[in-house]
Amino acid sequence: QVQLVESGGGLVQSGGSLRLSCAASGNIFSINRATWHRQAPGKQRELVAGFASGGTTNYADSVEGRFTISLDNAKNTIYLQMDSLIPEDTAVYYCSADLTTVQPTGIHVRADFWGRGTQVTVSS
């Protein structure tokens, strides 16, 4: 069974850094695209950063220059390096990935998966 599990969240002071990890497990053939979203209390979930298989990345304006998304294919892990954190970055962070998995029959199937989220709290 394929799972995405986030880790690395926590409490940090304004100006600090955190690195979030999202480990994909299961019979994974490839990670085609990956994103990090976040949802603050009372707000809608928003896209924070995205990574495409060609190496293209994109970021929300609010995190451009402070956050970096990356992918370690050997470890099937997606990272979000967050620097110069501010209280407005406080939210639950979710990773999602467009994965190609190998079924027991040997057939390759492509689908989207989401993790359960990790809390990031930035104190002023």
How does pLDDT run across 20-57, given as a tens digit for each residue? 999 999 999 999 999 999 999 999 999 999 999 788 99
The confidence band for 82, taking pLDDT boundaries of 50, 70 and 90, is very high
Please enumerate, as own/partner, the contacts of 106-113 that have beta carbons within 8 Å and a separation of 24 or more.
108/29, 110/32, 113/2, 113/3, 113/4, 113/24
Average pLDDT, the chain: 96
Evaluate if residue 6 carries a pLDDT over 80.
yes
**pLDDT of the residue at 72:** 93
In the chain, pLDDT over 90 holds for what percent of residues? Answer: 94
